Amino acid sequence: MSDFRRLGVLSTFVLLLTAPAAGLAEVVRLPDLQALALRNHPAGAEAEALQQLGRAELSIARTWSDPFLQVLIGSGRPLGSETWRAESGFEVTQDIPSPLAYRHRIQAAEFGSGQREAEGRARRLNLLFDVEVLFYDFAAALEAARILEQNAEGAERILALTARRAELGEARETERIRAEVELLRLRRALAAAAQAVELTRNTLRRLVGPGLPDRFGADPVWPGAASVEDLPTLRARMAERNPELLAARARTGESAEGAKAAAWEAWPDLAATYYDLDEIDKTARGAKLGIRVPLWNANRAEAARRRAEASLRRAELRAQEIDLESELDRAYGEYRVAADQADAYSKRLLPAAREGLRLTELTYEEGETSFLDLLDAQRTYREAAAELIGVRRDAARALAAIHRLTGGSNAADNR
């Protein structure tokens, strides 16, 4: 098999791997991938389990302790009598929680339930973020392979033209060798790009789970400079919707209510008892009310521990707010730079490089341009295309980070 036929076979193989738009692979959309991931990935089950755990803990906090029943069965003999008589009776004791301590315990449990729910949303949102980043990585890998395929096809044409000119004595043999070396270099890069496509596709399949077609591609909508709002709007949205902040606020509220409950637990729960006794000399019915007097242990140590814990939670919340604000500022800055550069490359630089390559190829075919000029035009176009892919991927990654920090791209993403 000749070198050109080998190159043709390799070209066809790589095209099968990387061409999503020619009917060879089904194109998938980001929302569909995220829906599949939420249905299949363990993070969805973890989020549901956290919500159930929060509801169960709230139910436990609201539940009173079970009553305590004592039953008396026996017999007795009055003094001076030979006759034994039966005795029976029962007592039912119910602990009654201190009203103020009980109320604060319920409120603490409600905050705890809200924390569990926010943690579940954070797990879902992190999964959506991972899928979004991987989707754009996959799309960038496909685009890089497509550009290299186009460059390789152009290099094949140039090699054939240079070989003919060398045979006719219109070009040096060294030009034909350099053209073949350039083509082989591109083919090697194309094979590596195809491998990267397959690796990213398989990683995406593992993350999303069952439901994807055997072969699939991507046709993304790359973010532009106007894809997000201004920074103050994003900060306000993050403060309102970021699940990590919501969980931290709920944790702080839970600690504060726990401290109040511990302070009121210095006055312990009541114990109410009803009794019904049938003794040998009398029948008695009545009720008793008991309370432990906080004389030696007024729950001071536990109350102090809870107050310190509440102060620690407030400090942690403020530190987390500062960290997330800094993270949002950094992601927003990275997005603005990458998106502006992507607009510059896509609207001005890449079209100019493409047109320059086209004109250089025409003039080289007519013998008006040197082979070095042609190589320079090819590499300029290839570098501009690679830079566009890179800044688009950087913008998409930064936008995904903004979505994660602000609770999703819309209200539905924060479910």
Mean pLDDT of 370-397: 91
Question: Which residue did the predictor score with more confidence, 62 or 281?
Answer: 62
For residue 295, pLDDT beyond 50: yes
- What is the C-alpha to C-alpha distance for residues 111 and 121, in angstroms, rounded to an integer? 15
Instruction: Answer whether residue 22 shows pLDDT above 60.
Output: no
At 412, the pLDDT band (50, 70, 90 cuts) reads very low
Average pLDDT of the chain, as a whole number? 85
Give dist(CA 20, CA 216) in Å, integer.
7
What integer pLDDT is reported at residue 14 of this predicted model?
44
Q: Calculate the alpha carbon distances from 243 to 39, 87, 321 in Å.
A: 20, 63, 12
CA 122/CA 128 separation, integer angstroms: 10
- Closest to 253 (Cα-Cα) out of 344, 118, 99: 118
Fold of 3-77+85-414: Outer membrane efflux proteins (OEP) (1.20.1600)
Residue 126's pLDDT band (boundaries 50, 70, 90)?
Answer: very high
pLDDT at 332: 95
pLDDT in tens, 111-125: 999 999 999 999 999
pLDDT digits (tens, 9 = 90+) for 182-210: 899 999 999 999 999 999 999 999 999 99
Q: How far apart are the C-alpha atoms of 235 and 228, rounded to whole Å?
A: 12
pLDDT score of 20: 44
pTM of the predicted model as reported, rounded to 2 decimal places = 0.79
Tell me the C-alpha distance between 92 and 94, whole Å: 7
CA distances, 119 to each of 59, 113, 242, 245, 322 (Å): 19, 10, 10, 10, 19
As to burial, measured by CB atoms within 10 angstroms (0-12 exposed, 13-18 middle, 19+ buried), residue 310 is buried
Phi and psi dihedrals of 39, rounded to 5?
A: -80, -35
